Amino acid sequence: QQASKKLGIALVGLGNYSKGQLAPALQETQHCYLSGIVTGSPDKADEWKTKYNIPEKNIYNYENFDQIKDNPDIDIIYVVLPNAMHKEFVVRAAKAGKHVICEKPMAVTVQECDEMIAACKEAGKMLSIGYRLRFEPYNREMTRFGTEKVFGNIKKVIAENGMSDTEGWRLNKALAGGGSLMDVGIYAIQGVRYTTGMEPIAVTAKEGPKKDKDRFKDIEDSLSWTMEMPGGIIAECKTAYTNEMNKLRLEGENGWAELSPAYPYKGIKGETSNGKMDFPEVNQQALQMDAFAQAIKENKPSTVPGEMGKQDVKIIQAIYEAMRTGKKVTI
Ligand code: NDP
């Protein structure tokens, strides 16, 4: 690959995230651009074709998707579908000989993650997960605080992410794979992992009361869980679909740091026991996609690989087991 050439990305699934964040971000990227789309909605195809100047030959649906293998304009396939569809489309993308970005959560079971990683490996293609906050300055600073022991040894991490409402496939277990933990609680898991630079050893979990038993028939509305980290560090986490929460806090021997809100696309704020944090606002998605395109061009591993996504799914499944059994589950 020529270093100067922008790599072509095709977005699969033109829902809210593709439309509101990824396509606009792809107008700002330096190393990649929006070259194609895959959609089950012909009306969206028409709209996007005009808006983003996408040639007809780079527009696919879920049936003829595999023909992308013959399209040199598309280097990377970005899967932005409901969670339970990620595996199928990542595997098909790899078989079509393309690099892949997959949205979070990577998949709904660990076995699916293994199949996705294996398919990309077999095809000799790279796989990355849409962890945009790994490229965001405030969240990166939390990594520095934690891993460089800026506030001494970490004693505790508090990570909470919840929204006040949700709808559509997210309420359907077959498509979502779970409830608020899968969708937004995963940011708290990530937050703890990058703040400590460590992996949880064991988890305990407790489901919260369901405010609406019909809507949350098959999935959890809210959940609180504790992760035991190496060295006696405790991570206290919460998520919900009916309660706005957005926090990542580190408590060290000599001070603390807190992001609140911690995980949005814009408007992250941070404070420490030494004063306010101040970083420029970035386009997280543009940085994330550019980093992957650059990794491909330079033949370097992705900093947010499939294995990172798999580890989160593994932790999520352990939390669900702890929630169901009421017992501590080791990871
Ligand atoms: P939406 O419901 O807004 O969009 C999903 C799209 O998938 C639909 O518009 C549709 O696109 C396509 N689709 C295909 N089959 C189905 C089906 N059976 N039911 C519903 N949609 C279907 O979801 P989001 O865009 O919010 O989320 C998509 C993925 O992105 C999820 O995995 C989510 O977790 C992730 N996400 C990540 C975020 C982040 O910050 N990293 C933020 C938001 C979401 P079409 O009509 O084109 O076929």
Q: Angle 180-116-39 (CA atoms, 0-180°, nearest 5)?
A: 70
Query: Distances from the Cα of 303 to the Cαs of 5, 8, 17, 83, 134, in angstroms?
Result: 21, 20, 22, 22, 9
Specify the ligand 1 atom closest to the Cα of 81: 7
Q: Among 138, 187, 194, 263, which one carries the catalytic annotation?
A: 187
For ligand 1, mutation pick of 16, 116, 283, 313 (most atoms within 8 Å of CB): 16
Residue 307: the pLDDT is 98
14 lines ligand 1 (CB under 6 A): yes
User: Residue written as tokens 């794979």?
Assistant: 177
Cβ-proximal residues to 135 (8 Å cutoff; 6+ apart), any chain: 282, 284, 287, 288, 291
Per-residue model confidence as pLDDT tens for the chain (331 residues): 455 799 999 999 999 999 999 999 999 999 999 999 999 999 999 999 999 999 999 999 999 999 999 999 999 999 999 999 999 999 999 999 999 999 999 999 999 999 999 999 999 999 999 999 999 999 999 999 999 999 999 999 999 999 999 999 999 999 999 999 999 999 999 999 999 999 999 999 999 999 899 999 999 999 999 999 999 999 999 999 999 999 999 999 999 999 999 999 999 999 999 999 999 999 999 999 999 999 999 999 999 999 999 999 999 999 999 999 999 999 9
Compute, in angstroms, the gap from residue 325 CA to the centroid of ligand 1: 31
Specify the ligand 1 atom closest to the Cα of 12: 47
40 lines ligand 1 (CB under 6 A): yes
Cβ atoms of 285 and 101 closer than 8 Å:
no
Cβ atoms of 190 and 293 closer than 8 Å:
no
Residue having the nearest C-alpha atom to atom 1 of ligand 1:
15
Query: Distances from the Cα of 99 to the Cαs of 58, 93, 152, 278, 290, in angstroms?
Result: 16, 7, 40, 35, 13
Q: Angle 150-156-160 (CA atoms, 0-180°, nearest 5)?
A: 110
Residue having the nearest C-alpha atom to atom 17 of ligand 1:
82
Cβ-proximal residues to 243 (8 Å cutoff; 6+ apart), any chain: 162, 163, 164, 222
Specify the ligand 1 atom closest to the Cα of 17: 25
Q: Is 224 exposed, middle or buried (0-12, 13-18, 19+ CB in 10 A)?
A: middle
Residue 2: the pLDDT is 55
CATH class of 137-281+313-330: alpha beta
Compute, in angstroms, the gap from residue 18 CA to the centroid of ligand 1: 8
Residue having the nearest C-alpha atom to atom 23 of ligand 1:
15
Catalytic annotation on 60?
no
Compute, in angstroms, the gap from residue 169 CA to the centroid of ligand 1: 8
**pLDDT tens digits, 255-270:** 999 999 999 999 999 9
**59-60/32-38 β-pairing:** parallel
Residue having the nearest C-alpha atom to atom 19 of ligand 1:
169
CA dist., res. 329 & res. 144, Å (int): 29
Residue having the nearest C-alpha atom to atom 31 of ligand 1:
82
CA dist., res. 100 & res. 87, Å (int): 11
41 lines ligand 1 (CB under 6 A): yes
3-state secondary structure of 222: strand
The reply to whether omega before 261 is within 30° of 0 (cis) is: yes
CA dist., res. 19 & res. 44, Å (int): 10
H or E stretch including 297?
A: helix 284-297
Neighbour-count burial for 181-208, b at 16+ CB within 10 Å, e otherwise: bbbbbbbbbbbbbbbbebebeebbbebb
CA dist., res. 97 & res. 91, Å (int): 10
Domain with CATH 3.30.360.10 in the chain: 137-281+313-330
- Report pTM: 0.98
Taking Cα atoms as reference points, which of 68, 82, 75, 96 lies closest to residue 13?
82
Instruction: Write the CATH number of the domain with boundaries 7-132+286-300.
Output: 3.40.50.720
178 lines ligand 1 (CB under 6 A): no
Residue 211: the pLDDT is 83
Specify the ligand 1 atom closest to the Cα of 14: 47
What are the φ/ψ torsions at residue 238 (nearest 5 degrees)? -145, 150
Could you tell me where the DSSP H helices lie in 96-249? Answer: 110-123, 137-147, 173-176, 180, 186-196
**32-38/7-12 β-pairing:** parallel
44 lines ligand 1 (CB under 6 A): yes
Cβ-proximal residues to 94 (8 Å cutoff; 6+ apart), any chain: 100, 116, 119, 120, 122, 123, 125, 127
The reply to whether omega before 105 is within 30° of 0 (cis) is: yes
CA dist., res. 246 & res. 237, Å (int): 11
Residue 3: the pLDDT is 58
15 lines ligand 1 (CB under 6 A): yes
Q: Among 98, 104, 247, 310, which one carries the catalytic annotation?
A: 104
Catalytic annotation on 104?
yes
Domain with CATH 3.40.50.720 in the chain: 7-132+286-300
